[in-house]
Amino acid sequence: MDTSELFSNSVYEEQTHLAEHELSSFIAAVTQSYGPELARLSADDWLDESELIDSPPRSAPRNWRAVTIAASARLAHRITFSGPSGDARRTRN
């Protein structure tokens, strides 16, 4: 294994750890505030948003906080239009 491959693996492992920590913190906060159902939906949103990041997974550090902000925006939209329980009813504008 050459030095560049070791560095690449190290960066990948660090980014994986940072992503796991960011997702875990986000889901814990959503669970505490809105319950496990919305936390599950928000986890899916977070993962969807993480796939939309412009940089390749093994490149420069990724901005996981931006993923959380985007997933939070989806959560806010879901709560606004479905209510805090996340059900399908719509509020009137």
Q: Looking at residue 10, what is its pLDDT?
A: 83
Domain boundaries, the chain: 3-53+60-82
Residuewise pLDDT in 10s, the chain (93 residues) = 555 555 567 888 888 999 999 999 999 999 999 999 999 999 999 999 999 886 655 556 678 999 999 999 999 999 998 876 655 443 333
* pTM of the entire predicted model: 0.74
DSSP string computed for 65-79: HHHHHHHHHHHHHHH
